[in-house]
Amino acid sequence: MTHPSADGWMPLTLPQIDLWEEYTFHPNEVVSTVAHSLDITGPIDEDALKRAIAQVVAESDVLSLEFRDRGPNLPPLQRVNPELRPELVVHDLSGADDPAAEAQRLIEADIGRGIDLKGRSISAQALFRLSPHHLVWYLRTHHAVLDGYGIALIEKRLGELYGHFSAGLPAGDPFHPFKRFIAEEEAYRASRRFQADREHWVKSLAGAVNFRVLHKGAEDYLSGGAHYGCHELVPETAAQLRRIAGELTMAWPDLLTLLSGLYLRHELPQPETRHRSEAFMIWLPLMSRWGSVGAHMPAMLVNILPVFLTAEPGEGLRRFLARSAGLLKTLRSHGRYRVEQIALDRGVPAGSRFFFSPLINILPFDPPIFPGCDVTRNVQAAGLPEGFALTFRGQEDGTGLTFEMEADIATADTETFERWQRELPEFLAEMLTVEALDGPVGSAIWRGD
The 3-class SS string of the chain reads: CCCCCCCCCEECCHHHHHHHHHHHHCCCCCCCEEEEEEEEECCCCHHHHHHHHHHHHHHCHHHHEEEECCCCCCCCEEEECHHHCCCEEEEECCCCCCHHHHHHHHHHHHHHCCCCCCCCCCCEEEEEEEECCEEEEEEEEECCCCCHHHHHHHHHHHHHHHHHHHHCCCCCCCCCCHHHHHHHHHHHHCCHHHHHHHHHHHHHCCCECCCCEEECCCCCCCCCCCEEEEEECCHHHHHHHHHHHHHCCCCHHHHHHHHHHHHHCCCCCCCCECCCCCEEEEEEEECCCCCCHHHHCCCCCCEEEEEEEECCCCCEHHHHHHHHHHHHHHHHHCCCCCHHHHHHHCCCCCCEEECCCCEEEEEECCCCCCCCCEEEEEEEEECCCCCEEEEEEECCCCCCCEEEEEECCCCCCHHHHHHHHHHHHHHHHHHCCHHHHCCEHHHCCCCCC
pLDDT at 449: 45
pLDDT at 211: 87
- The torsion of the CA quartet 358, 444, 244, 362, rounded to 10 degrees, works out to 10
Co-location of 239 and 342 in the same domain: yes
Whether 1 maps to a domain, the answer reads no
Whether 185 maps to a domain, the answer reads no
CB atoms within 10 A of CB 267: 17
328: domain range?
190-443
Contacts of 26 (CB under 8 A, 6+ apart): 216, 221
pLDDT at 121: 85
Co-location of 266 and 174 in the same domain: no
Beta bridge mates, 308? 281
Please check whether residue 185 is in contact with residue 80, taking contact to mean a CB–CB distance below 8 angstroms: no
Co-location of 169 and 196 in the same domain: no
Residue type, position 249, single letter: T
Beta bridge mates, 138? 37, 126
Closest CA to 62 of 84, 77, 88, 37: 84
Indicate the pairing of strand 10-11 with strand 77-80.
Answer: antiparallel
Whether 449 maps to a domain, the answer reads no
Closest CA to 337 of 147, 210, 181, 185: 185
Whether 5 maps to a domain, the answer reads no
Co-location of 171 and 218 in the same domain: no
Co-location of 131 and 241 in the same domain: no
Rounded Cα distance between 2 and 222, Å, is: 32
Rounded Cα distance between 361 and 368, Å, is: 20
Rounded Cα distance between 393 and 239, Å, is: 15
Rounded Cα distance between 60 and 246, Å, is: 36
Rounded Cα distance between 31 and 382, Å, is: 9
Co-location of 255 and 385 in the same domain: yes
Co-location of 221 and 158 in the same domain: no
- For the question of whether the overall pTM of this predicted structure is more than 0.75, the answer is yes
Co-location of 158 and 268 in the same domain: no
Contacts of 46 (CB under 8 A, 6+ apart): 129, 135
Closest CA to 260 of 386, 404, 408: 404
Please check whether residue 136 is in contact with residue 39, taking contact to mean a CB–CB distance below 8 angstroms: yes
Please check whether residue 10 is in contact with residue 179, taking contact to mean a CB–CB distance below 8 angstroms: yes
Whether 97 maps to a domain, the answer reads yes
Rounded Cα distance between 140 and 380, Å, is: 9
Co-location of 156 and 195 in the same domain: no
pLDDT at 94: 97
Whether 235 maps to a domain, the answer reads yes
Query: Any idea what the CATH number is for the domain that residue 80 is in?
Result: 3.30.559.10
Please check whether residue 195 is in contact with residue 189, taking contact to mean a CB–CB distance below 8 angstroms: no
Residue type, position 388, single letter: F
Co-location of 219 and 315 in the same domain: yes
pLDDT at 272: 55
What are the residue ranges in the chain where pLDDT is below 50? 1, 274-277, 446-449
Query: Any idea what the CATH number is for the domain that residue 418 is in?
Result: 3.30.559.30
Whether 332 maps to a domain, the answer reads yes
Rounded Cα distance between 231 and 234, Å, is: 9
pLDDT at 5: 66
How many structural domains are present in the chain?
Answer: 2
Among 179, 204, 220, the domain boundary falls at 179
pLDDT at 224: 58
Please check whether residue 60 is in contact with residue 36, taking contact to mean a CB–CB distance below 8 angstroms: no
Whether 362 maps to a domain, the answer reads yes
Among 157, 179, 201, the domain boundary falls at 179
Co-location of 296 and 349 in the same domain: yes
For the chain, what's the residue count? 449
Among 158, 179, 200, the domain boundary falls at 179
Co-location of 288 and 153 in the same domain: no
Please check whether residue 147 is in contact with residue 266, taking contact to mean a CB–CB distance below 8 angstroms: no
